[in-house]
Structure 1
Amino acid sequence: MRQLIIQVPQGHGKAVLDIANSHNGANLAQLAAKGSDEAIDVVIVHVSNREVEGFLEQLQDLPKVHITLIPTGVMALQPPASEAPQQVVNVEERSPIEIFLSGLQSVGSWRGFLAYAAVAGFVVWIGLYTNTAYLLVAAMLIAPFAGPAMNTAIATARGDRQLLGRSLLRYFTALAVTIATAWLLSLILRQEIPTSLMLESSQVSTVAVLLPLAAGAAGALNLVQSERSSLVSGAATGMLVAASLAPPAGIVGMASALGRWDMVISGLFLLLLQLCGINFSASLLFRLYGLSTQGTRYQRGKKSVFRSALVMTVIALAGLLTWQFSNSPNLERSSRAQRANAEVQKAVKQVGFAQLVESNVRFTRANIEGQNTLLSVVYVQRLPEVTESSEEIRDRLTQAIQTHLLKQGFNVTPLVDVNVLETPANKP
């Protein structure tokens, strides 16, 4: 439930009360007061979230109406006291006008916004440079990418070209500041090779698109739900939106300084994929919850802008996914390595000379021109009945694994290191 304070010229307070009653207002009060230049009526109204927009629309017909909307939930209790529990459990979604106005408020100050983007660049650089994973989580909390991404979705749902342009500008400006910060730090401290965490974080999975779709839906749900209707904090959903934005931004900056353009490409791919995926799922959810191109105190939305923005998002998303799956394995390395590991285990089992102890398959840090290097380190234990030497077993398994991986069409150069482990000579 929301509280509104309405100021109207004296004599119009009764009209406000009538409108509030038609919207099931609770705990209504009218006060006589003195305004800056005339006598006024002040009316305090409590209405449910879903009634706010309709209530504001009807107030528009009153002369010189001033409205103060308090954007926090209130509990309007009424007699009998025994019904208090039932009166406070009816928690509703925010009204569309609240969602839109909160989005407009968040595109204000640039100084603090850019400062957070720069600090996020520092933190993500330290995390990637020192292989400290928890610092990447800290960077996700600091990075101010969630606000512009969600405002882009609000602007798309509303068909607001002005807000859409401002949101995209803030999104790419924040990314540029974070990237530039990481790039500058790598140059100043003379970083020469990518770290293992950089390499791991730069690898893209075939299901990478699912994260921004889920993040966009979670972010939109957090904005439309009343603050008392969910146990999930805004910081948590904001971190989810920024989860795959801060690390790729840092990687783009650091890899640019190192001249590792393959990592730069994968990072830029992820950044664009996040924006498109978040905008697609969040804008559709906003429309589902009532955001439209026209509303109370909002007349600049256009259906053509909504349709165009949504179509362009879908086209961009489809183009990115087409690029991803047609450029294998560069933008599918995480998933390819996992699949290749399963194929390595199959190959060892088919040869039959030894039992698999452990296998590790990954794309290497080395950037060898003309090949996608896939390193497989395999540990096996010879079967009791096998009499061949360790060298023979290693050679047979190496050849079998390489041949099997090449036949599977992974488009890689498999480098295989087989280690034959021996059991203790005298087991108790």
Structure 2
Amino acid sequence: MRQLQISVPQGYGREVVKIAQGYDATNLIQFEATDPEGPVDVVFLHVSNGKVEGLLGELESIENLAVTLIPRGMMPLHPPTSEAPDQVTEVEERSPIEVFLGGLQSVGSWRGFLGYAALAGVVVWIGLFTNSSFLLIAAMLIAPLAGPAMNVAIATARGDKTLLKRSLLRYFSALAVLIAVTAFLSLIMQQDIATPFMVENSQISAIAILLPLAAGTAGALNLVQSERSSLVAGASVGMLVAASLSPPAGIIGMSIPLGRWDMIVNGLFLLLLQLFGINLSAAIIFRVFGLKPRGARYDRGTKKLFPISMGVTTVGLMALLILQFSESPDFQRSSGVQRINAEIKQVVENSELAELVEGNVRFPRPSISGQNTLLAVVYVQRQEGVDVSTEEIRSRLTQEIQAHILREDFNVTPLVSVTVLETPEFLGDSR
């Protein structure tokens, strides 16, 4: 439920009450007051979230209408008292006008916004430089990227050109600040090589698209859900959105002084993938929950902007996915490692010479020029009853693993090292 304070010229209070009763408003109070323009009627009322926009739309016919919408969940209790438990459990989604106005409020102060972006850059740089995952999480918590990303989706759903421009400006401004801060820190600290965390987070999985789609859906659901019905804190949802954006931006900044164009390209690919994916899923959710080009107290949306924006988003997303799956393994290294690991396990099992102890597969950076170098370090243990030399086991498994990887057309040059581990032999009493 939402509480509204409505001020109208004197004599129109009863009309407001009558209209509000048609929307099942409760705990209505009407009284006379005086504002700087003269006598007015003031009405306090409580109405369900889903009916706020309809009520405001019908009240627009009254001249000099002034409305104060209190964006907090209320518990208006009214007779009969036996229905109190049912009254407080009637929790609905936020009204479209409330979601939209809340988005507009978040595009306020630039100093605080850019300040948080700079601080996020410092923290994400420390996390990537020191290989500290908890610092990357902290950077995601303070990075102000969720707000602009959600506002882009709101602007897309409502066809609001003005909000779309302002949100994109803030989005790219925050990313530029974050990238600039991480690049500056790498310069002054004279960083010479990419850290393992940078390498790990720059690698792209074949299922990378799922993260922005999930982040956009979660962010939109969090904004439309009433605070009393949401099971997930807003900060955690914001962190999910920032998790899609902060590490790639930090990697781009840190890679610029190193001249690591491969990592810069991967970071830019991820940022664009996140922007398009978040916007696609979030805009669809907002439309499903009632955000339309026109509504109460809102008339600057254009119907044609929604299909245009969604078309650009969809085409951009499809272009990135086509690029990802046509450039193997450059944009699929993370998932490719998992697949190759599984293939190595199968080769060792089929050989009947040894049992797999552990396999470490990775794409080393920098790679040898002209090839997609894959480094596989495989530890095996001789199977019982196998009466061949350790060198023969190592040689045969190395050849079989390399041949199998080449046959599967992973588009890599496999450099394989097999180590045969022997079980300890206990001769006599160890005492």
CA distance in 2, matches of 1:416, 1:367: 15
CA distance in 2, matches of 1:180, 1:367: 27
The Cα offsets for residues 229-261 of structure 1, whole Å up to 9 and x where unpaired, read as 112111111111111210111001111111111
Partner of 1:109: 109
Which range is displaced more, 385-394 or 415-424?
A: 385-394
3-state DSSP of counterpart to 2:74? coil
Q: Pairwise CA RMSD of aligned residues?
A: 1.1
Matches within 5 A, 1:241-390: 241-390=241-390
Compute the displacement of 1:177 (Å). 0.6
3-state DSSP of counterpart to 2:79? coil
Using structure 1 for the length normalisation, give the TM-score: 0.98
The Cα offsets for residues 309-328 of structure 1, whole Å up to 9 and x where unpaired, read as 00000000000000100111
3-state DSSP of counterpart to 1:243? helix
Compute the displacement of 1:131 (Å). 0.4
Task: Please tell me whether the aligned partners of residues 196 and 365 of structure 1 are also in contact (alpha carbons under 8 angstroms).
Answer: no
CA distance in 2, matches of 1:117, 1:37: 44
CA distance in 2, matches of 1:188, 1:388: 57
3-state DSSP of counterpart to 2:73? coil
Partner of 1:18: 18
CA distance in 1, matches of 2:204, 2:321: 12
Partner of 2:226: 226
CA distance in 1, matches of 2:122, 2:196: 18
CA distance in 2, matches of 1:117, 1:84: 46
Partner of 2:144: 144
The Cα offsets for residues 30-76 of structure 1, whole Å up to 9 and x where unpaired, read as 11111113111111011111110011111111121111110111111
Task: Please tell me whether the aligned partners of residues 28 and 46 of structure 1 are also in contact (alpha carbons under 8 angstroms).
Answer: yes
Aligned length: 428
CA distance in 1, matches of 2:350, 2:73: 65
CA distance in 2, matches of 1:138, 1:337: 28
CA distance in 2, matches of 1:27, 1:368: 74
CA distance in 2, matches of 1:25, 1:381: 75
3-state DSSP of counterpart to 2:169? helix
Partner of 2:193: 193
CA distance in 1, matches of 2:337, 2:420: 22
Is 2:74 aligned against 1:74? yes
Compute the displacement of 1:387 (Å). 2.5
Partner of 1:99: 99
CA distance in 1, matches of 2:226, 2:176: 33
Task: Please tell me whether the aligned partners of residues 178 and 249 of structure 1 are also in contact (alpha carbons under 8 angstroms).
Answer: yes
3-state DSSP of counterpart to 2:227? coil
Partner of 2:413: 413
Is 2:425 aligned against 1:425? yes
The Cα offsets for residues 323-372 of structure 1, whole Å up to 9 and x where unpaired, read as 10011100000010000001111121222221111111111133321111
CA distance in 2, matches of 1:256, 1:368: 20
Partner of 2:163: 163
CA distance in 2, matches of 1:193, 1:387: 46
Identity of aligned residues (%): 62
Compute the displacement of 1:382 (Å). 1.0
Compute the displacement of 1:396 (Å). 1.2
Partner of 1:4: 4
Compute the displacement of 1:139 (Å). 0.7
CA distance in 2, matches of 1:124, 1:368: 29
Structure 2 gap segments, 5+ residues each: none
Compute the displacement of 1:80 (Å). 2.3
CA distance in 1, matches of 2:199, 2:248: 11
3-state DSSP of counterpart to 1:376? strand
Using structure 2 for the length normalisation, give the TM-score: 0.98
The Cα offsets for residues 141-172 of structure 1, whole Å up to 9 and x where unpaired, read as 11111100000000000001111111111111
Structure 1 gap segments, 5+ residues each: none
CA distance in 1, matches of 2:369, 2:169: 36
CA distance in 2, matches of 1:39, 1:135: 58
CA distance in 1, matches of 2:8, 2:384: 94
Matches within 5 A, 1:200-211: 200-211=200-211
Q: Letter of the aligned partner of 1:316 in structure 2?
A: G
Partner of 2:236: 236
CA distance in 2, matches of 1:348, 1:37: 87
Partner of 1:126: 126
CA distance in 2, matches of 1:356, 1:232: 42
